[in-house]
Every structure is written in C-alpha cells, then in structure tokens.
Amino acid sequence: MIREIGFELIKFKSQRKNYVVMAGHLLFLGLCYLGFKTSKLNFIKHSLNANKFDLNLTDYLDGLFFARAALVPTFVVLMPIFICTLAGGAIAGEIQQGSLKLYASRPRSRSSIVWSKIFAIYGFNLLFCLYLAGAGLLVGLALFGYNPAQLIYARNFGLGNDLSLMSGTEALIRYFATVVYYSFSLMALGSVGLFFSTLFDHPTAATIAAVTVYFVCFIVAQLPFAVEIKPYLLSKVMNGCGVLWLPDIPWYRLGRNLSVLALYSCGFSTLAVCSFNLRDIK
C-alpha cells in the first residue's frame, strides 16, 4: 500500500489547484499586512477597551503575532474548500477521466484503493498545512521581526480569556500544535468529501456536497437554539483549536474534540470504503 500512497501523492502534487491556493494565500497575507499597517491594532483596543491595560499593544505586533492572526482564517475558510476539492476529486475525478476502471481492474482490492487515497489525502493535507503555516510565519518575521514576549489575543475563540502573555518559544510550539490540530480536523472533512466522491461521477458535485456540509454546520453553530448540539458539529470541532492558546490547556476538552474528529474521520472513511465496494464503476 505504501507504493500506492506514493502514486496518489504524485497525482495530488501535479494538480494545478495547488498553485491557485498558494497564490491565494500569498494574496491573503499581503492584504493582512496592509490591514495591520493601517489599523495599528485599533481593533484590539476597541474590542477590549485596552486603555485599561498598562500596555502599548503596538510593541507586541511582531511576526509571530501576524502569523497567528493569519492562521485561523486560512484554516477556517481557505483550507476547508481546498480539502473538499482534493478529496472530492480523488475518486470522482478519475471516474470522469475514465482511468479508475482500468486502475481497479488490476489485482488489488477496492478497499486498498480507497485506504491508499485516504492516507495520501492526509499526508498531502499535512504537508500543505505546514507549508501555509511556515509561509505565514516567514512573511510575518520578515515584515515585523520577533518579540520574545508574545501577546495572545483570543477573543474570537470565546473561551473567556481574551488576552494573555507567554514566551515566544511557548507561543511557537503552540502555533505548530495548532497546525497539527487543523491538519487532523481537515481530514475529518476530507473523509466526508471522499465519501461523496464515491457517490458521484463528477468531482464538482462531490466537492459542492462536502463544502455544503461544512458551511451548513458552520451556520447552525451560530444559531442560539443549537447550544446542545454545537460541540459535536463538524465545523465546531474542526475549529476547536482555541483551547491550545489558553494559559492552562484543558486536556479533557481537547481530548473530546479530537475524539469527535476521529469518529467523523473513521465513520466517513468506512462509509467511503463500503460505498466504493458496492458501486459499479463506469
């Protein structure tokens, strides 16, 4: 199966959509830079009434702060769409091209085909996550430098700890821990996309279906009457990395989020295997 995973990674690497996402991310970072330079952190001062704090917030605007600010939108909007297109085309794309029927006719089980695609999707997704996080960090450090004391602004996470300080080393460790969390969470959505890819003959339909599931969960999580189901909605647990930025990490809550994500990944991966084994490849 390792050889098959390698072949799948080569297929993903050759897709032009990768360069579109990279270019879009660079554009996003450029616009973030303009926003930072023009706002002068007024958004923090207004939202937290920072005049009460004996802090000059602009002293903490460094490269790592910039990278953290750009990280969440990248993995909340950009990467979910990308992983849906990647997983949505993994099987449906080859069905549309007519290459999957020949590939499946060789002496290998259909289950191994699907599992090789699942592992390849996660591997490529992890590499892409690390690249985007590294690009944001390098751009931030090049433009804003580095401060050994880090100001952690976590108001948007709704965790009751809007502002805190930590060392640069600890902030960097938590930064990449967040990236690994997001890579794992995106695989849950990738499993959904792969399942739809086994149902449809066109990658566009599978991609739209997976994107719809994500954003429907995202919208429902904002509704006031969805309090009880919110912790288990796919989009909510996917974006539950905020706990990693608390001074004391609530390990139980982090473990619960990872467990729910694992259930999503295993459940939809199993459904994808079953669906692919039962369908007739045209």
Q: Which residue in 126, 145, 129, 131 sits closest to 66, CA to CA?
A: 145
pLDDT at 45: 58
Write the burial class of residue 49 (CB in 10 Å: 0-12 exposed, 13-18 middle, 19+ buried).
exposed
Contact indicator for 254, 244 with CB cutoff of 8 Å: yes
Check pLDDT > 70 for residue 90.
yes
For 252, the token pair is 């139980």
Average pLDDT, the chain: 85
- pTM of the entire predicted model: 0.87
Q: How confident is the model at residue 102 (pLDDT cuts 50, 70, 90)?
A: confident
Tokens at 4, concatenated: 């098959």
Q: What is the mean pLDDT of residues 24-45?
A: 80
**More confidently predicted of 128 and 15:** 128
Q: Are 84 and 193 in contact (CB under 8 A)?
A: yes
The residue among 270, 250, 45 whose CA lies nearest residue 160 is: 250
What is the pLDDT averaged over residues 253-270? 93
- Closest listed residue to residue 74, CA positions, set 262, 239, 244, 243: 239
- pLDDT-derived band of residue 204, with 50, 70 and 90 as boundaries? very high
Q: Looking at residue 281, what DSSP letter applies?
A: P
Question: Within the chain, where are the H helices?
Answer: 2-13, 17-39, 42-48, 63-73, 79-97, 100-104, 110-144, 168-199, 203-220, 234-238, 251-278
Q: What angle do CA 236, 8, 197 make, to 5 degrees?
A: 50
72 band by pLDDT with thresholds 50, 70 and 90: confident
Contacts of 215 (CB under 8 A, 6+ apart): 235
pLDDT-derived band at 249, boundaries 50, 70, 90:
confident
Q: What is the pLDDT of residues 167-203, one digit of tens each?
A: 888 989 999 999 999 999 999 999 999 999 999 989 9
Residue 117 — very low, low, confident or very high, per pLDDT cuts 50/70/90? very high
CA distances from 259 to 32, 79, 251, 252, 265 (A): 33, 21, 12, 10, 10
